[in-house]
Chain A
Amino acid sequence: MTWLIEARGVSIDYRTDAGWINAVRDIDLTIAPGEIHGLVGESGSGKSTLALALMRYLAPNARISAGRILFDGDDLVPKPAEAMRKLWGKQIALVPQDSLAALNPSHRIGDQIAEIARVHDGLSPSAAHKLAVEMLRRVHFNDPEGAARRYPHQLSGGMQQRAMIAMALIARPRLLILDEPTTSLDVTTEAAIIDLIHDLIHETQAAALFVTHNLGLVAQLCDRVTVLYAGEVMASGGVSAMFTRPLHPYTISLLASLPRPIRGTETRLSTIEGVAPAPTQRPAGCVFAPRCPAAVSICDQKPPIETVGEGHLIRCHRWREIETGALIIETAPTALEPNTLDDVLLAPYTLKAIHLHKTFRRGGIRAWLMGKRGTKAVDDVSLSVRSRSTLGLVGESGSGKTTAARLIAGLETPDEGTLELLEMPLSSNLRARPVETLRRLQMVFQNPNDSLNPYRSVGAALARSIRRLSETKLSSVEVERRVKALLAAVRLSSDYAKCYPTELSGGEKQRVAIARAFAADPALVIADEPTSALDASVQSAVLNLLKDLRVQRGVSYLFISHDLNAVSYLADWIAVMYRGQIVEEGTVDDVYGFPSHPYTEALISAIPNPDPTIRTRRIRLNEEPDDQIPTVGCRFHRRCPRKIGALCETDAPPWRDAGGQHFIRCHIPIEELRAVQSENTLMTESG
């Protein structure tokens, strides 16, 4: 096998105040031409460091302390910067995570792309411009000429990322490094970008390194994958072998912990205990041993990296036992108390939000003087959450789902609409809510890093919530007892009461934030993307915790997420939001099944499935900038793959009853929708 890039024994250190710290250690990584190689790991695993090291593009305080990086047989490590500059852009190109930051805001898209061709291939300005437009066409811009004349801020996030890909590929590089290129994009946009990368790599026969934390994307896109943990390669090999018969305990546990699109509401997700060690606290032996369910005494010594089969590497002392079946990593999920659907259909309402409207006026006096109208974030949204059940509210960024939740929480005031909590009127003004109401409605926020006051200890934060929301005045002994009980309920030891938020990991902070929401006895907890900022191995534990607390405390959730896998794990009901409106609502089974709204259908088909053997139906939506949302007709009509005609452009679609409390906002009659959608599935399954 001839590799295009071959890293052997690479170690990278960073210089800090405390001296040199080892970030990645003894890495072997090879990529062949035409291959898409996935590099997965949690935050802090060193995946981005490694990816940038492969192109010798490290921060000034980083050094490659050992190893060789052979690019086409030529060692890059000793090369002077001048020689590297000739390779960058021409031979090796990078697509970064944050495309808006990577594009120069003051130059037109076309000029920026053309510059690469002028510098590296010596093309004339007009030839380079022509090529740039051609590249934009190849990355599926509808109007490449027009797009070339635009400035980066005039493009949507997905378009910017496609422009970055065009820029990376214009000089026909032989190695493409993609550093989490879709992390900040919506799932439908992500799916389109992934398809594009797949097609372009196979067309150009370049080698690609795809860095991500999303195992689903790896399964759907990559040929081979390397799993990084705490700066070391745990396993490496072909995607189908790695996903269907994983041999490393970390890979096995990680795959088992992912919420799957296949429904399994009544079980818990399997979890990995603990958190990944900080670079300064990595164990001397196997780095995964402290969290490994199969760790034995030999794991105190560093395991060697061994070749298991053709191109399949494992760093584990016990892989042979796992391969023969002598050792089984316990991932079987434990059952939960069931929450049967009959109950759910009949249960009384915990929350009713009726005809909510919210328009955000823009920028104060200036916008007012210029007569700018605001954006309608929430447009006639009605939601209901039943007792002891979870309503999952899904939609892409800008759909208004977070605004809807904040209206219910009282953090924003609706322009119109009424709220009911436990069948009693709920004031939309937070200040007007008595403490009896505040106690029953709490919230968990998206970003664990800003949901706790950094200047207050965990114990003090919880104590304050307990005191404020208590029905009676509590003694300090009683408060302390409740703080301990709350910490225990979120599976944290009572030592955490003394900690300050900066001392906690993201998952721990989110547990404390959940504990705070349960300080009194809430009837409804609004959880706004509570796991989106967490690593995969931590996410499942938080989802389990939410599920356990629901049963133990008899609470209802309004769970907001763009991650449909997480929603399907936790929710009984789903409401799908698009551009400020609910387009579909029903039980999880109904929404995931047929018929469903064309947008829901596209959303579900875009979820990357962490099983490489399953290829889901591929419905890919084009993009539409936020400022071009249709104001008449169906808001989805310009992107809808099932648009039936002029009716969709002129008339607002009806709210159709699909039976069993399942509703769809679409012009297509329910029966017709069911017919075309199930036909599609049959075709995909047979073909």
Chain B
Amino acid sequence: MGRLISTLTRQPLTLIGAIIVGIFILMAVFGPMVAPYRYDTLIRGAARQPPSSAHLFGTDRLGRDVFSRVLWGAREIVGLPALTTALSVFFGSALGLFIGYRGGWIDEVVSRIMDSLLAIPALILALVMLATIGASQIGIVIVIAILYTPIVARVVRSVVLSLRSMGYIEAAKLRGESDFYILFRELLPGVLPALVVEGALRFSYAIFLTASLGFLGLGVQPPSPDWGRMVNEARDSYTQTPWALWAPAGAIALLIIGVNLLSDGLRRILRYESSLV
């Protein structure tokens, strides 16, 4: 832990990233408790208020406190992508370990299927899938997890391919270790640095995609305070309430910058050079 802190202080950008991400996580956990209003409270006679001490980010055209809505919305914009990332990292690493280690035609077939899936832009695929299964929080999580699993699998596979011919893997085979042992005890520790970096990267993309889907109206249904949806709703009245657009948009940008700084830092700390980004 001491070493981690000293590494972080030598890399100020990573530290900034960590602080930003930390603040957003705190927002997600405690946001609704400290917010001055509920996300759906309509404040009588206070529509279209510019930022002030009473309303830090002003109010929107319906008279809702933007600051409170941003605080409430943090839970979803951090929580859903976190869940998505966990799922895609779990399934992606299992799949990547398996096909990378087995090799042969299974690897060939699965890799080609994943390649063709990755050839289609993620947002379009997500739209089609969500239109089919219906927009819901759990739908978003499932769809993005399906989209990102092959990406994680590809990264893990490439690391496994480079480790597979290492002497220590062959030594394990020569003492008759099971495939399970070789995969999870010999290979997995070597894959972890790549997985941590890739997980952080996936997290930032998942945030972006979740917000994009919200913006397009396929995210969480109103009146819940989804940041992407908030940007879209504030678009029509931008000339009157620019703050209602800038607050959620800025929050999305800041969060993604924070996660990216952190994942870049992790890459340096773990000395992992991703070959596939």
Contact = CB atoms under 8 A, between A and B. Distances in A.
A443 B171 contact: yes
Interface stretch (B33-41, B118-126, B172-180, B218-226): B172-180
A410 B174 contact: yes
Interface in B76-128: 104-105, 108
Interface string B178-211: 0000000010011000000000000000000000
A255 to B, nearest CB: 31
A452 interface: yes
A450 B165 CA distance: 9
B168 A465 contact: no
B160 to A, nearest CB: 14
B49 to A, nearest CB: 52
B168 A453 contact: yes
A450 B167 contact: yes
Contacts of B168: 450-453, 461
Contact of B171 (A364, A410, A451): A451
Nearest to B177: A468
Interface stretch (A71-79, A133-141, A430-438): A430-438
B236 interface: no
Which among B104, B171, B186, B189 has the highest number of chain A CB atoms within 10 Å?
B171
B189 A443 contact: no
A451 B174 contact: no
A442 B174 contact: yes
Contacts of A450: 166-168
Given A453-B186, A454-B190, A468 B170 contact: no
Contacts of A513: 167, 171
**Interface of chain A, main secondary structure:** mixed
A468 B176 contact: yes
B189 A453 contact: yes
A443 B1 CA distance: 39
Contacts of A447: 167
The contact size tier of chain B is 10 to 19
A365 interface: yes
A633 B10 CA distance: 66
B170 A411 contact: yes
Interface in A506-551: 513, 516, 519
Contacts of A452: 167-168
A430 B178 CA distance: 11
A516 B190 contact: no
Nearest to B192: A455
B189 A455 contact: yes
Given A365-B108, A435-B176, A468-B176, A455 B171 contact: no
A70 interface: no
Which among B168, B174, B177 has the highest number of chain A CB atoms within 10 Å?
B174
Given A445-B167, A451-B168, A409 B174 contact: yes
Given A451-B168, A452-B168, A453-B168, A411 B176 contact: no
A455 B189 CA distance: 7
Nearest to B165: A450
Given A364-B108, A365-B108, A451 B176 contact: no
A469 interface: yes
Nearest to A528: B167
Nearest to A366: B108
Nearest to B176: A438
Interface string B237-260: 000000000000000000000000
Interface string A463-492: 011001100000000000000000000000
A516 B108 CA distance: 35
Contacts of B104: 364
11 contacts: A364-B105, A364-B108, A365-B105, A410-B174, A430-B174, A430-B176, A445-B170, A451-B166, A453-B189, A455-B190, A465-B175
Interface of B: 10, 104-105, 108, 166-168, 170-171, 173-177, 186, 189-190
Given A456-B189, A513-B171, 16 more contacts: A364-B105, A410-B173, A410-B174, A411-B173, A411-B174, A430-B174, A438-B175, A442-B175, A443-B171, A452-B168, A453-B189, A453-B190, A455-B190, A469-B175, A516-B171, A519-B175
